[in-house]
Chains A and B, each alone.
Chain A
Amino acid sequence: MATLDLQNIQKSFGDAKVLHDIDLAIRDREFVVFVGPSGCGKSTLLRIIAGLEEATSGKIVIDGQDVSRDHPLDRGISMVFQSYALYPHLSVFENIAFPLRVAKMPEPDLKAKVARAAEILQLTDKLKLKPGQLSGGQRQRVAIGRSIVREPRVFLFDEPLSNLDAALRGDMRVELSQLHWQLDATMVYVTHDQVEAMTMADRIVVLNGGKVEQFGTPMELYHHPATKFVAGFIGQPNMNFLPARVCGTDTAGVAVEVANGPTLTLPVDPEGLTPGDAVEVGIHPEDLTLGDGGMTMKIHVLERLGGQSITHGHLGGTRICAALPGTAPIREAEAVELAVAPSACHLFDARGRVARRRDALALVA
C-alpha cells in the first residue's frame, strides 16, 4: 500500500508550539500507534497527516510524493473519528457509501463495494438501519466501513475505542488487529491508552509535550525505554522509580545505592555518570519478587486479581507497586521483603535519560 514519512513537522497555534520537529518514517503495511498523555500533540499530528490541519512547517510524504498541500482525498488517506462521525439521518448503507457517492461512483460498483465492506465488518444485516439503532461497537464498525470502501493508501484512527466500554474495547482491539491483517494496509492509530498501543502496534511512537520521546516496537519500549517518561508510560501497572545515588562505576556496570534499599551493581553503560550523582532506578512491578533483597515494603493496599497480587505500598518515603504471585502470603498493613535482579533494573539520570542496558534481552519484535 504505502509508506508515510513525516519530515520536520512543526505546528504552532499562535505562540504555543504544540509539535516540535517530528521526524518519522512509517513503513508500508505497518500499524503505528501514536501514544501519549492528553495534550501531547498526537491528535494534532494525526490531523496534520489527514489534511485537516496545516503544519506550520515540514513535509508529509506518502509513497515518496509530497502531499503536504494536498486535499485529504488526493493524499489517499481515510480517517475514523473518535465520535465515529456517522451521519445520523442516513442508513448504514448510505453512511458507508458516502465517500463513493461523493466520487459519483456508478450504482452497481457502489453496491458491490459497500456489500464487500459490510461483509468484512459483519454488518450485512444492519445495512438498512440508522446509526442510532446500533450498539457502540457496531457504530464503530460502520465508521471503519466508511473508511475502507475508498481503498485508501493510509488509514488514520483517532482514538476510535475511547467511547466503548472496557469489555467491548478488548473485542474491538482484536477486530482491528485482524482488520489490519485482512486489509494489509498502512495504519496510523492515536490513543492515550498504552494497553491499546502495546497490543496492536507494530511500532509505537511515544509523544510528550509535542516531541517524539521514542519510536520503536512495543518490546523495545518495554525493555529499552529511551527516557524515564517512556518507562513510566509503558507497562501496567506503571514502573517504580526509586531514588538512588551512584557509588561507583566499573567494567561490570554502575553500582548504585538505593534509598532505603540495597546497593546494586546494574549492568548498564556508565557513560556520563560519576559517583555521587543522584539517579533513579526504574523497576517494573512484575520484576519485583518475594525474597530478602534488602527492600522492605509496607503494604497499604492489596489487589488480588487471582493470577497476580498487585501490591501498593511504600519503600521508605517512595510509593512503590509490586506485581506478586496470586498466592503470595502477604496482607495489607504488613511489611514484605522484596528483591530484584540487577539485570532487570533501568537506570535514569537526573534529566530522565536512560543508561543503556547491556544485557540485551531477547526482543520479541
Chain B
Amino acid sequence: MMDRYSRLQTLVIYAALAVFLTFILLPFVEMFMVSLRPLEHLFSTPYRFWGDDFSFAVYRQIWETVPLLGRYIFNSIYISGMVTAITMIFVVPAAYAYARLDFPFKNASLAIFLGVNMFTGAVLLIPLYRVLRTLGLLNTYWAMIVPGVAFLIPTGIWLLRSYLEKIPRELEEAAFVDGASRLYTLRRVVLPLAVPGLIVVSVAFFIGAYAQQFLFAITFNQVREYQPLPAGLFEFIGYQDVTWNEMMAASLTGVLPVMVVFLFLQKYFVAGLTAGAVKE
C-alpha cells in the first residue's frame, strides 16, 4: 500500500504520540528511577534525576521488609483471575441472549445494567459490607471476588453483546437449518468466532478487577494472607518513615508479571483479529 500520509502529517502524528506516551509513561519512569536510589537521596535538594549511586539493592530488600510480598502479588493475580473467569461464565451466555434472543423487558433490563454501572463501588461499600457479612464471606477471598464480579457483569454484557451482534446471523441460521441446537451453535460456531472479542473483554475484566480490588480489600478483608498487592503496599509505610524506594520497587515487581502477560496477549489479539477478517 502507498503511504497515506505526507511527511509533515507523519511528523505531527508521531509528535502527538510522543506527547501522549510521555504523559502516560513518565510516572513509570519516575517510579523506576526512585526505586533505584537510596532513600536519603530522594529528599536531597536540589533534586536530581540522575545519580551515580543507582543500584538494584532495594529489589532484594523489599522481600525482607515485607515478607509476604510474594503472597500479595499472587493474591492480586489470583483475585483478578478468578473475577475474570467467573465474570466470563456469567457474561457469555447473558451477552449472547441479549444479542440474539427476544424476551420481555430486554431493553429495560439492559438500561438498568447501564444504570447500575454508574454507581462506583465506593457508594455501595456499606450495603455490600452488610451483604457480605450476612453471607459470611468477610475476610475471605470471596469478599474481594464476589463484588468484583458483580460490578463487571454489566460492562461485560454491553461490551460482548455488541461484539456478538456483529457475527452474521446467517451463520447461526445455517446451523439451525442443519439441526444444531442453540448451545451447540454457541459452542461450535459463535464462540470460536468471538475469540478476539472474548480476549478483549477478558482483558478489560482483568484490568477492571485489578483496579477495583484495592477498595474491596481494605474494607472487606482483614486477613493479611489474603491481601492483594495494592493493599499490601501499605506495609511499606512505617511508623516513622515511608520507604518510597522500596514501595516503588515492589509496585513495579507486582505489575511486571501482568505486563508480560498482556504483551503476549496483545500479539495474540492482533492475530485473532486478522484471522477473523479473512472470512468475507
- Say whether, besides A87-B189, A102-B184, A81 and B170 are in contact (CB < 8 Å): yes
Closest residue of B by beta carbon distance from A149: B178
Which residues of A70-116 have CB atoms within 8 Å of chain B's CB atoms?
Answer: 71-73, 77-79, 81-83, 85-89, 98-99, 102-103
Instruction: Give the A-B pair count, Cβ closer than 8 A.
Output: 63
A-B complex: 9 closest residue pairs judged by Cβ atoms: A88-B279, A132-B278, A73-B179, A99-B178, A85-B174, A85-B170, A72-B177, A89-B192, A102-B180
Measured CB to CB, the closest approach of chain B to A158, in angstroms, equals 9
Indicate if B238 sits at the interface (CB-CB under 8 A).
no
Contact status B178-A146, CB under 8 Å: yes
Chain A residue nearest to B173 (CB atoms) is: A52
**B179 and A87 contacting across the interface, CB-CB below 8 Å:** no
Residue on B nearest A143 in the bound complex, by CB: B174
B125 contacts which chain A residues (CB < 8 A)? none
Kindly identify, within residues 168 to 201 of chain B, every residue whose CB is under 8 Å from any CB belonging to chain A.
168, 170-171, 173-180, 184, 188-189, 192-193
Say how far A305's CB is from chain B's closest CB, in angstroms: 34
Q: Is the CB of B176 within 8 A of A52?
A: yes
B174 touching A132 by the CB < 8 A rule? no
Contact B193 A88 (CB under 8 A): yes
8 A Cβ contacts from A221-257 to B: none
Using Cβ atoms and an 8 Å threshold, which residues of chain B touch A73? Answer: 177-179
Beta-carbon contact of B168 and A79 below 8 Å: no
Contacts of B192 in A (CB 8 A): 87, 89
Q: Mark B91-111, 1 if CB is under 8 A from A, else 0.
A: 000000000000000000000
Bound: A99/B276 CA distance, A: 22
Q: A81-B174, A85-B174, A132-B278 are in contact. List 7 more A-B contacts (CB 8 A).
A: A79-B173, A87-B171, A88-B193, A89-B275, A98-B175, A146-B174, A150-B178
Contact: A98 with B171, CB < 8 Å?
Answer: no
Alpha-carbon gap, A132 to B179, bound state (A): 24
B279: contacting residue among A72, A103, A131, CB under 8 A: A131
Can you offer 27 A-B residue contacts whose CB atoms are under 8 A? A51-B177, A52-B173, A72-B179, A73-B178, A73-B179, A78-B178, A79-B174, A79-B177, A81-B174, A83-B168, A83-B170, A85-B170, A86-B279, A87-B189, A87-B192, A87-B193, A88-B279, A89-B275, A98-B180, A102-B175, A102-B178, A102-B179, A102-B180, A131-B279, A132-B278, A133-B278, A146-B174
**Contact A85 to B179, CB < 8 A, known contacts A102-B184, A132-B278:** no
Bound complex: CA A82 to CA B176 (Å)? 16
CA distance A78 to B192 in the complex (A): 24
CA distance A71 to B173 in the complex (A): 12
Least CB distance, B206 to chain A, in whole angstroms: 24
**Complex: A130 Cα to B168 Cα, angstroms:** 17
User: Which residues 126-147 in A have Cβ within 8 Å of B in the complex?
Assistant: 130-133, 146
Contact between chains at A81 and B278 (CB < 8 Å) = no
Residue of B nearest to A71 (CB): B179
Bound together, the chains give a CA A73 to CA B176 distance in angstroms of: 8
List chain A residues, Cβ under 8 A from B168.
Answer: 83, 85
A16-50 CB mask vs B (1 if < 8 Å, else 0) is: 00000000000000000000000000000000001
Query: What is the bound-complex CA distance between A133 and B189, given in angstroms?
Result: 19
The complex places the Cα of A82 from the Cα of B174 at a distance, in Å, of 11
Residues of A within 8 A of B179 (CB): 71-73, 99, 102-103
Q: Give CA–CA (A77, B168) in the complex, Å.
A: 21
Task: Digitize A209-229: 1 where CB-to-B-CB distance is under 8 Å, 0 elsewhere.
Answer: 000000000000000000000
CB B274 to nearest CB in A, in angstroms, measures 10
B177 touches A78 (CB 8 A): yes
CB distance from A300 to the nearest CB of B (A): 40
**Which of B173, B180, B184, B193 makes the CB contact (< 8 A) with A81?**
B173
Complex contact A88–B177 (CB within 8 A): no
When distances are taken between beta carbons in the complex, the residues of chain A under 8 Å from B278 are 88, 130, 132-133
B178/A88 in contact, CB under 8 A: no
Known: A102-B178, A132-B279. A89 touches B193 (CB 8 A): yes
Chain B 263-280, CB within 8 Å of chain A: the 1/0 string? 000000000000110110
**Closest Cβ neighbor of A156 among chain B residues:** B177
Collect the chain B residues with CB atoms within 8 Å of residue A51's CB: 177
Taken together as a complex, chains A and B put the C-alpha atoms of A227 and B167 apart, in Å, by: 42
Interface residues of B in 233-280 (CB under 8 A from A): 275-276, 278-279
Q: Roughly how many angstroms separate A99 CA and B176 CA in the complex, as a whole number?
A: 10
B-side contacts of A130, CB under 8 Å: 278
